Structure 1
Amino acid sequence: MTPDQIIDMFLDHYRRRGHRDAPESSLIPPPGDPVLFTTSGMHPLTPYLAGRPHPAGRRLVDVQRCLRTTDLDEVGDATHLTVFDMLGSWSLGDYGIATSVRWGHELLTEGFGVDPVRLHATVFGGDDQVGPDETAWATWTDLGVPVEATGAENWWSNGPTGPCGPDSEIFVWTGEGPPTGTPTGDDRWVEVWNHVQMRYHRHDDGRLTALPMSNIDTGMGLERLEMVLRGARSVFEGDGLRPWVDAVRDRWPLEGPDLRIVVDHLRSAVVVLGDGVRPGNTGRGYVLRRLVRRALTVLWRDDPERGLTELPLDPYADTLRRFRQPAGAQPLRAVLADEERRFRGLLRRGRPLVDRLRARGPLTEPDYRWLHDTHGLPRDLVDGLLAGAG
């Protein structure tokens, strides 16, 4: 199935069960929100999960573009992305986890055609404040899906404080032959969907108090689901990443983690630019700058003459369409080209500084701090491009 077909089937499944469309939000949270970017489908709905009535009702569904800086260091493997589409459904004080689990199982098996034998669930096993999630466990067991109980892995929160609760994660077997083992012991079990019972608010002192109503919040990454449905080994084989993979490979001999980092970071940078962020030294601008410069660091490691203007506009336009952004491809490529010029200038200024320090011996922690704090040279840049120069 194509990503567009997956989205249509997901939305239709919940619309037929009384869910209304929740409007998609920008990657940029509203003023006053302490988070730099929208990190999940539930993020824009936080006031409604806390009890405010939603104008569209108590059952909602949407597709939301998300960015997670916490995954930056994991990007380069087969399944993690910085920017991705999240398919989400919500019950605001309406139905409970048993209904959510059953509807999710129905969509995966009857809608998307996943063999039920390839499914495995995990549930919250309890801690010193909240008991085990017996309802989710019993529901999965009744559906014939094996269950593994865990601890903190099955407790969802959007930060150290705020709405939280036990979750039930759905995994699909991606290995050869019959499924074996459990999700915590075999990485061939790939998580595709999370069903959260948003029932509590965690306070600064760690206390949990009940929210005004018990909610359900589900989230499923589009690109990862597409990978599973295709029987692929990597999200980078999907339609949303393929234009970037092909464009990068056509120009430069990159493979493995290097290829995936460059593809992910450039695609993510385009989506961030599409929501109005521009490169800078702080906040969202710094995250964008880090994405672009990390991609360039990988590209220039073997050939410093490589340039982003060598890439065609097609992947830019494809990404903007898929993430429902009206920005033009040409102006965004011009922004990246300007950021590349700035980065080249930083390298020219930084190389003599690093060479002088290296002449005294290996770089020390105070050296790295001085290069970063005084001259804006981050450690990954120094290690990746400058320390090995000359």
Structure 2
Amino acid sequence: MNIHDTLTTFVEFFRERGHQRITGTSLIPPSGDPVLFTTSGMHPLTPYLQGRPHPLGRRLVNVQRCLRTTDLDEVGDHTHLTVFQMLGSWSLGDYLGSQSLRWGYELLRDGFGIEPGRMYTTVFGGDRQLGPDIESQRVWSELGVPVELTVEDNWWSNGPTGPCGPDSEIFVWTGDLPPRGTPTTDDRWVEVWNHVMMRYRRFEDGHLEPLEQPNVDTGIGLERLLMLLQGKRSVFDCDLFEPWTRTLTRLWSLDGPSLRTVCDHLRSGIVVLGDGVRPSNTGRGYVLRRLLRRTLTTLWHDDPTRTLGDLPPELYEHTVDLFGQDIDLPHVRDQLCVEERRFRHLVERGRVLVDRQLSRGPLTDDDFRYLHDTHGLPRDLVLTLLTGQV
């Protein structure tokens, strides 16, 4: 299934079951929200998950672009991404988690054609406060899908206090048949869909009380789903990334991890710029700046003449079309090139300053503070210069 087929199948499945599609929002949360970026499909729905009536009703479905920095150091492997699209469905005090699990199984099996024998699930196994999630275990048993019980891995919360509850994750086998092991013992079981049963509220003293409006929140990453549906071993091998991998391998000779890092970070940078963020030394702008500088550090490691100015318009157009952004592409390109020039100048100046400090002996914490506070050289850049990566 290609991108369009996958999106259509998901959205139409839930619309046929009474869900209203809501428009995915920007990566930038509303004013007053303390987080830097939208990290999940449920994030923009927080007021409605807490009880405010949604104007479109109790059953919702959407496609939301998200950005997560928690896995930034993992980017470069086969499955982790910085910016991605989350397919989501919600019950706002309507149907229960058991119904959500049954629909999830039906969609994966009949809508996406995933063989039941390639599925495994994990379910909350209980802790000192609550017993195991018997309801979810019963559903999976009736459907004939094996279950592994965990504790921390199947308890969802949005922080130390607030709404929380057990979740059930659906995994798909990606190795040779027959499947082996369980999701926690064999990483060839790849998580594809999480169903959160938001049943409780945790208070500051740690105790739990049932929510007046229990909800169900599900999320499935588009890129990872496409990888599974297209039989690929990496999200970067599916059609969604094909223009990136095809073009960048022609432009620059990069090893596998470097190619995946550059693909992810440049694609993410374009989307973040498209949502109105500009590079800076704080907040969202610093996240963007870090993505672009990690990209340039990777590119310049083998060849300092490489430049983002070589990126063809095709990559910009493909990315903003995929994420539904209506932006001035030449302006986005100019922003990338300006940031590249700024970083190149900083690297050239930094080499001189670091060499000067090194002439006095190994760098100390005071030297790192001096280079940062006086000359604007971040510690990670100084370490990069020390290791000769740029």
How does the TM-score come out when normalised to structure 1?
Answer: 0.96
Q: Distance in 1 between matches of 2:214 and 2:337?
A: 48
The 5-angstrom pairing of residues 1-390 of structure 1 reads 1-388=1-388
1:347–1:210 distance in 2 versus 1, CA, 3 Å = same
Q: Distance in 1 between matches of 2:124 and 2:257?
A: 33
1:326 CA displacement: 0.4
Once the two structures are superposed, what CA deviation does each residue of 1:95-145 show, in whole Å capped at 9, x if it has no partner?
111100000000000110001000000011111222211101110111010
Amino acid at match of 2:47: P
Q: Is the 8 A contact 2:301 2:389 kept in 1?
A: no
Amino acid at match of 1:345: H
Amino acid at match of 2:210: A
Q: Distance in 2 between matches of 1:293 and 1:264?
A: 13
Matched pairs, number = 390
Amino acid at match of 1:5: D
1:386 CA displacement: 4.8
Q: Which stretch of the first structure deviates more once superposed, 203-212 or 183-192? A: 203-212
Q: Is the 8 A contact 1:51 1:211 kept in 2?
A: no
Once the two structures are superposed, what CA deviation does each residue of 1:215-245 show, in whole Å capped at 9, x if it has no partner?
0000000000000011101000122222222
Q: Distance in 2 between matches of 1:34 and 1:102?
A: 35
Q: Is the 8 A contact 1:97 1:136 kept in 2?
A: yes
1:372 CA displacement: 3.2
Q: Distance in 1 between matches of 2:366 and 2:181?
A: 47
Identity %: 65
Q: Which stretch of the first structure deviates more once superposed, 212-221 or 157-166? A: 157-166
Once the two structures are superposed, what CA deviation does each residue of 1:137-175 show, in whole Å capped at 9, x if it has no partner?
110111010000001111112333332211100000000
Q: Is the 8 A contact 1:161 1:202 kept in 2?
A: yes
Q: Distance in 2 between matches of 1:209 and 1:281?
A: 42
SS at match of 1:32: coil
Q: Distance in 1 between matches of 2:200 and 2:363?
A: 48
SS at match of 2:334: helix
Q: Distance in 2 between matches of 1:338 and 1:166?
A: 47
Gaps of 5+ in 1: none
Q: Is the 8 A contact 1:274 1:327 kept in 2?
A: yes
Amino acid at match of 1:209: E
Q: Distance in 2 between matches of 1:220 and 1:389?
A: 36
Q: Which stretch of the first structure deviates more once superposed, 263-272 or 155-164? A: 155-164
RMSD between superposed Cα atoms in Å: 1.5
Amino acid at match of 2:55: P
Q: Which stretch of the first structure deviates more once superposed, 283-292 or 242-251? A: 242-251
Q: Which stretch of the first structure deviates more once superposed, 252-261 or 225-234? A: 252-261
Q: Is the 8 A contact 1:355 1:387 kept in 2?
A: no
SS at match of 1:70: coil
Q: Is the 8 A contact 1:91 1:216 kept in 2?
A: yes
Q: Is the 8 A contact 1:354 1:387 kept in 2?
A: no
1:19 CA displacement: 0.3
